[in-house]
Amino acid sequence: MLGNSFGRLFRVTTCGESYGKGEGSGLAVIVDGVPAGLKITEEYIQKELDKRKPGVGKLNSPRLETDKCTIFAGIGQDRITTGAPLGIIIYNVDTQDVHIQQYREYKDIFRPGHATYPFFLKYGEFQDWCGAGRSSGRETVARVAGGAVAKFILEREGIEVIAYTKECMGIIAKDMSFEEIKKNYMRNEINCPDLETGEKMEKKVLEIKEEGDTAGGIIEAIVHNIPPGIGEPVFDKLSATIAHAVCSIGAVKGIEFGAGFNVARMKGSENNDQPYITKEGKIRFKTNNAGGFLGGMSDGEDIIVRVAVKPTPTISIEQTSINMKNMKEKKLKPITRRDPTLLARIYVVVESMMAIAVLDGIYMARAYDAMTKLDEKWLNLKK
């Protein structure tokens, strides 16, 4: 299996499966590019992991994983980073035989909405049928651990990354300032900072759950206080790197920046963000239709990203599928554990991939700036 690493200078590599085999199975991440001297702790990483931990609340899968993390590499005797790759592991603790047997009963039948069919094409009968393997949502726990490291470093730079539920099944949160969103962050289970609308979303999800079905929605993510000039003008645009990072999350089916697809209905005079000079001599913009980018590089405004999240593909409604062993159509009605919506846990995965992408871009930009020897007036505008 290829493609298990992301990033160039700040780089994460993940491994592990949803279930794995026997005691000691789990998921892990190796993080390259961690500076020496950081007092990053397991407690800090755990706070991020707890945001996506299953088995908590009415909108989550009942799978009872603790998601407890252990830093096993890259930390010295004084619990401070040494500059070596940081290794973090999260063991699976709720891989009961009864659930494995449930998967075994339809291991030759690919579940609609899942990656089973291309897995058969790539790996044949050896494809991991238990809990979707590397295509399970559980794979993201290692991403969140790596993203926690990225967030820790970004916080030193005064940069914040926050994601929240903007829309669920057509119920849309009102527009809010970054400060309002931050104030109401994680105030409800679906993590919608518009608290009244969040109640309506949760009610709708539970109604759909009673039908044996699942709900989709939209997550909005914000990178606050990012300096301008991050990213490269052509193939390595920061917007393109973020799109790669976020669209690598299995449930993400669409992405837009700033005004997004609404630009198709705008005139240039409406879409252009007009600049002005602050009292401090910095350049800012009156609007942010570009979502924090010009030419794919950061312009100093908040980066605004929205992603479409599909409904959880495992449902309790009978569907038609195919038995790949005998190549015959088969009716399928899985009884395995699932989230009635992914929105209540996926937001932190989006935050994590955004943080990794942004930090990698900052590493690249500062390395380049150190070699260009530009006039100080240009460098000062980035501060």
pLDDT tens string 9-23: 999 999 988 776 656
The pLDDT of residue 56 is above 80: no
pLDDT band at 41 (very low <50, low <70, confident <90, very high): very high
Could you give the 3-state DSSP secondary structure of residue 258? Answer: coil
The residue segments making up the domain with residue 317 are 5-381
CATH number at residue 72: 3.60.150.10
Characterize the bridge pairing of strands 283-285 and 275-277: antiparallel
Per-chain mean pLDDT for the chain: 91
Q: Which of 45, 4, 27, 14 is nearest to 93 (CA)?
A: 27
Give the model's pLDDT for residue 94.
Answer: 67
The pLDDT of residue 310 is above 80: yes
DSSP-H helix ranges across 25-71? 42-52
* Burial of 213: CB neighbours in 10 Å, binned 0-12, 13-18, 19+: middle
Decide: 25 and 17 in contact? Cβ < 8 Å.
yes
The pLDDT of residue 174 is above 90: yes
Decide: 111 and 313 in contact? Cβ < 8 Å.
yes
Give the model's pLDDT for residue 101.
Answer: 74
CA pair distance 194, 185, nearest whole angstrom: 9
- Which of 23-27, 56-60, 341-345 holds the top average pLDDT? 341-345
Give the angle 65-66-70 at the CA atoms, nearest 5°: 125
* Residues of the chain above pLDDT 70, percent: 95
**What would the pLDDT profile of 344-354 be if each residue is shown by its tens digit?**
999 999 999 99
Mean pLDDT in residue range 222-244: 97
Mean pLDDT in residue range 129-136: 75
CA pair distance 218, 358, nearest whole angstrom: 21
Decide: 298 and 231 in contact? Cβ < 8 Å.
yes
Residues 6 or more apart in contact with residue 376 via CB below 8 angstroms: none
**Beta-carbon neighbour count of residue 280 at 10 Å?**
6
Read off the tokens for 209.
Answer: 């759950």
The pLDDT of residue 95 is above 70: no
pLDDT band at 140 (very low <50, low <70, confident <90, very high): very high
pLDDT band at 221 (very low <50, low <70, confident <90, very high): very high
> Which is more confidently placed, 70 or 119?
70
Give the model's pLDDT for residue 375.
Answer: 78
Report in angstroms the alpha-carbon separations of 145 from 14, 69, 172, 251.
Answer: 10, 8, 30, 19
Give the model's pLDDT for residue 334.
Answer: 64
Provide the number of structural domains found in the chain: 1
Residue found by looking up tokens 């790996």 in the block: 123
